[in-house]
Amino acid sequence: MATKTVAGDLIDRLQRIVGPGGVHHRPADLLVYEYDGSVEGAVDTARPLAVTLPTSTEQVAAIVRVARDANLPVTARGAGTGLSGGAVAREGGIIIALTRMDRVLEIDPIDHTALVEPGVINLELSEQTLPGGHFFAPDPSSQKACTIGGNVAENSGGPHCLKYGVTTNHILGLEVVLPDGRIAWLGGGAADRPGYDLTGALVGSEGMLGIVTKALVRLTPVPAATVVMLAAFANIDSASQAVTRIIGVGILPAALEMMDALTIQAVEPAFHAGYPMDAGAVLIVEVDGSTDEVREVEG
Q: CATH number of the domain at 30, please.
A: 3.30.43.10
User: Distance between CA 285 and CA 31 in Å, rounded?
Assistant: 42
207: left (phi over 0), alpha (psi -120 to 50) or beta: left
Strands (E) across the chain are located at 23-24, 50-52, 74-77, 94-97, 104-108, 113-116, 134-135, 171-177, 183-187, 211-218, 220-221, 225-233, 255-260, 281-289
Are residues 154 and 198 located together in one domain of the fold? yes
The continuous run of DSSP H or E covering 265 comes out as helix 261-271
50 pLDDT exceeds 80?
yes
Are residues 114 and 214 located together in one domain of the fold? yes
Mean pLDDT, rounded, of the chain: 93
Are residues 192 and 229 located together in one domain of the fold? no
pLDDT at 2: 58
User: Distance between CA 31 and CA 27 in Å, rounded?
Assistant: 6
Among 44, 63, 97, residue at a domain's last position:
97
Using an 8 Å Cβ cutoff, are 256 and 243 in contact? yes
CB contact set of 162 (below 8 Å; sequence gap of 6+): 252, 253, 254, 255, 256
Are residues 201 and 268 located together in one domain of the fold? no
pLDDT at 39: 67
Amino acid at 43: V
pLDDT tens string 53-70 = 999 999 999 999 999 999
Are residues 163 and 196 located together in one domain of the fold? yes
pLDDT at 77: 97
CB atoms within 10 A of CB 5: 8
Q: Is the dihedral of CA 14, 97, 3, 65 positive or negative?
A: negative
pLDDT at 283: 98
Q: Is the dihedral of CA 201, 203, 208, 213 positive or negative?
A: positive
Using an 8 Å Cβ cutoff, are 171 and 198 in contact? no
> Once rounded to an integer, what is the mean pLDDT over residues 73-97?
91
Are residues 164 and 125 located together in one domain of the fold? yes
pTM more than 0.85 = yes
Are residues 88 and 128 located together in one domain of the fold? no
Long-range contacts formed by 129-137: CB under 8 A, 24+ apart: 129/219, 130/222, 132/107, 133/109, 133/221, 133/222, 134/107, 134/109, 134/219, 134/220, 134/221, 134/222, 135/219, 135/220, 135/222, 136/170, 136/217, 136/219, 136/220, 137/164, 137/165, 137/169, 137/170, 137/220
For 29-33, 137-141, 169-173, which range has the lowest pLDDT when averaged over its residues? 29-33
CATH number, domain of 252, equals 3.30.70.3450
> Once rounded to an integer, what is the mean pLDDT over residues 4-30?
91
CATH number, domain of 149, equals 3.30.465.10
Are residues 111 and 214 located together in one domain of the fold? yes
Are residues 208 and 119 located together in one domain of the fold? yes
Among 70, 97, 124, residue at a domain's last position:
97
242 pLDDT exceeds 60?
yes
Question: 50 pairs with which residues across the strands?
Answer: 94
Q: How confident is the model at residue 234 (pLDDT cuts 50, 70, 90)?
A: very high
- Domain with 77, as residue range(s), is 4-97
Secondary structure class of 113 (helix, strand, coil):
strand
**Stronger pLDDT, 47 or 282, i.e. the higher one:** 282
Are residues 170 and 245 located together in one domain of the fold? no
pLDDT at 7: 85
> Once rounded to an integer, what is the mean pLDDT over residues 268-277?
95
Domain count, the chain: 3
Secondary structure class of 18 (helix, strand, coil):
helix
Among 206, 221, 236, residue at a domain's last position:
221
Are residues 260 and 276 located together in one domain of the fold? yes
Are residues 65 and 129 located together in one domain of the fold? no
